Amino acid sequence: MPADLKLSVHSGSDKFSIYPIMADIIKKHDKGLHVKTAGTTWLEEVIGLAVAGGEALEAAKEVYASALSRKDELCGPYADVIDIDDALLPSADEVNGWSGEQFANTLRHIPGQPDYNPSFRQLIHVGYKVAAEMGERYYSLLEKNADVVGACVEENIYERHLKRLFNL
């Protein structure tokens, strides 16, 4: 293999099923790789806000409610690559009654987690525009809750991605 070759795989939601194969290739060829985490990092930010509770949880719920009401607009650019089952999307009123832990468990991609909802996750995933429109309010909540949000991001990248990729 060329010395400057870098393995780059965009795996989407099925990444955990291919990580063992990628780990074998990395070991076999002693090559590096590029792990794209922007989308999952954004989702972990929302999870961290939900777990933090209070006004941070309210903002996470607001992101969902707005994304739900703007679903066609937000999903449009990704229509060929996402698969949201509308029947699996809870109403904004239902989500408003959730605890931070229930919101986080519904959003977190942990195989076997009974609350996990891939349609909910995909809608939040394309809802980043809502957070951007919240502007300083969203950013200040990230700063105010940096310990919780940072722990969620670190756990996701290290525990669920890098450890699996490198068989640690």
- Phi, psi (degrees; rounded to nearest 5) at 33: -150, 165
Tens digits of residue pLDDT in 48-80: 999 999 999 999 999 999 999 999 999 999 988
Tens digits of residue pLDDT in 84-102: 999 999 999 999 999 999 9
pLDDT of residue 39: 72
- Asked if 111 contacts 16 with a C-beta cutoff of 8 angstroms, the reply is yes
- Asked if 88 contacts 117 with a C-beta cutoff of 8 angstroms, the reply is yes
- Phi, psi (degrees; rounded to nearest 5) at 140: -70, -35
**Domains of the chain: which residue ranges?**
40-159
Is the pLDDT reported for residue 37 higher than 70?
no
Find, among 26, 13, 50, 15, the residue nearest to 145 by Cα.
Answer: 50
- Residues 6 or more apart from 160 whose CB is under 8 A from it? 16, 109, 110
Calpha distance 70→66 (Å, rounded): 6
Tens digits of residue pLDDT in 102-136: 999 999 988 789 999 999 999 999 999 999 999 99
